[in-house]
Chains A and B, each alone.
Chain A
């Protein structure tokens, strides 16, 4: 190794250019078959599956900041499928299956770590709801069961079983629950997509969408106009303003979702633990930091400073669950702007504009859906607008027909 370094030190060429994970930036072409707005996990995953399964490589991913720098960087990297509705469970289970194989598929370590996820019930009503979730999950092949406080204490010996005087009655133990490095997921997809010929253009902001007689023809960017056969928007928190550029509205409200992380300590916590009554979840990263997250802010805001009362409630709940956390120091706190739907399910598929597909309404459940979302959106594009069965329940028109998918298994929903 030292000799190898010496060789590179004496060489005039930059040695890693050919091995670089991402190609150097190129000029923006005038036209692409497919333009994807948003270079987060969902955007690059769609480009990846378009190239891999459908041979569509004339694709540009336009990102106004940098790769995976938006909500892909801000989520708390929870991967689970223990939702409530059959539609939701089927969809997220497919995502978990894809995640499991992703590191091998990419030849790039996304640090996928299946530690299990435990949700605590503090009331009889929640225990009943959990029983239902466990059965729905098992029915669709997930590994979820209801466990009692004795088993909870064995799984997480450091947990306070009477947090805030709300005794833990039972737990929903989801063995498939996992975490992964969120940046690596975006990088892995971007690497795979660009190697197959798709282009990633960072610092390229879409400023307008061109629609002619009800059909999208291209987008305007800060680097000039681009013609496109198909346009997909995958812009998370700013979905509604982006859709407005294309001339239609989305039933979304933007709420901040906060999270924070402590200084790293020795490993003590294997599963991801969340409390349904305290609206708080705690997990330890592979680096040893404790990640604390919870529900959405109490009112809408387009500001990632977010509100103070929620910071207070998150921290006090975390300390109730693991009292010794009060001795630890916070490293940082942040928020992401989430696009919440009223039924806690995403909005995917067709839009009122022809050839303009939407991937929005990801609220607090976007990261875990990244692989399946990319795969199904790619299918939608490749088939020329035939909506895959898996995402049919999530179409935008469900709101007009009062056919919501009431997903109360979402983190932001009160269980």
Chain B
């Protein structure tokens, strides 16, 4: 059994977790070209080595970040997303923009 350490729930069986893609910097939604947005959506680093990824602890619906080696499958570190994402992303369009 492979164990992943959930920052909220502690060590749990890997089958309780769902992979959610690599952590990527999101371009500003207000002035991004279609091509750049496509790059952001469809392209991942896809190289061998340590990757920073989104993971979900499914039973508690808790999203967090894990650093994992994608060749040895070793989970190096898991931590809450607050460590990277300090500000809330606002998607709503203001009256003047619309």
Contacts and interface: CB of A to CB of B under 8 A. Distances in A.
Contacts of A300: 19, 46, 51, 70
A169 interface: no
B46 A309 contact: no
B48 A309 contact: no
A308 B1 contact: yes
A400 B48 CA distance: 25
B14 A307 contact: yes
A83 to B, nearest CB: 21
Given A301-B70, A302-B48, A303-B72, A402 B38 contact: yes
A240 B46 contact: yes
Nearest to A297: B19
B20 to A, nearest CB: 9
Size range of the chain B interface in the assembly: 20 to 34
B35 interface: yes
B2 interface: yes
Given A252-B46, A254-B46, A308 B38 contact: no
Contacts of A307: 2, 14, 73
B29 to A, nearest CB: 15
Interface string A334-349: 0000000010000000
A254 B15 CA distance: 20
Given A251-B42, A302-B70, A307-B14, A241 B48 contact: yes
Interface string A273-299: 000000000000000000000000011
B66 to A, nearest CB: 10
A143 B36 CA distance: 42
A399 B18 contact: no
Interface string B35-66: 10011001110111001010000000000000
B21 to A, nearest CB: 8
A249 B48 contact: no
Nearest to A404: B42
Contact of A309 (B14, B35, B44, B71): B14
Given A254-B46, A298-B19, A301-B73, A399 B38 contact: yes
A248 to B, nearest CB: 10
A342 B38 CA distance: 12
Interface in A83-112: none
Contacts of B95: none
Given A298-B18, A308-B2, A402-B38, A240 B47 contact: yes
Contacts of A314: none
B31 interface: no
A402 B34 contact: yes
A301 B47 CA distance: 10
Given A253-B44, A302-B48, A308-B1, A400 B71 contact: no
Contacts of A302: 48, 70-71
Contacts of B53: 299
A231 to B, nearest CB: 20
A139 interface: no
A54 interface: no
A223 interface: no
B90 to A, nearest CB: 24
Contacts of B38: 399-402
A250 to B, nearest CB: 8
Contacts of A402: 34, 38
A300 to B, nearest CB: 6
Contacts of B48: 241, 302
Nearest to B71: A302
A399 B18 CA distance: 25
Contacts of B18: 298
Contacts of A29: none
Nearest to A239: B46
Given A241-B48, A298-B18, A303-B72, A251 B43 contact: yes
22 contacts: A244-B47, A249-B43, A250-B46, A253-B46, A254-B46, A298-B19, A299-B19, A299-B53, A300-B70, A301-B73, A303-B70, A303-B72, A303-B73, A305-B73, A307-B2, A308-B1, A399-B38, A399-B42, A399-B43, A400-B34, A401-B34, A401-B38
Interface of A: 240-241, 244, 249-254, 298-303, 305, 307-309, 342, 399-402
Given A251-B43, A303-B73, A309-B2, 14 more contacts: A240-B46, A240-B47, A298-B19, A300-B46, A302-B48, A302-B70, A303-B70, A303-B71, A303-B72, A307-B2, A307-B73, A309-B15, A399-B38, A399-B43
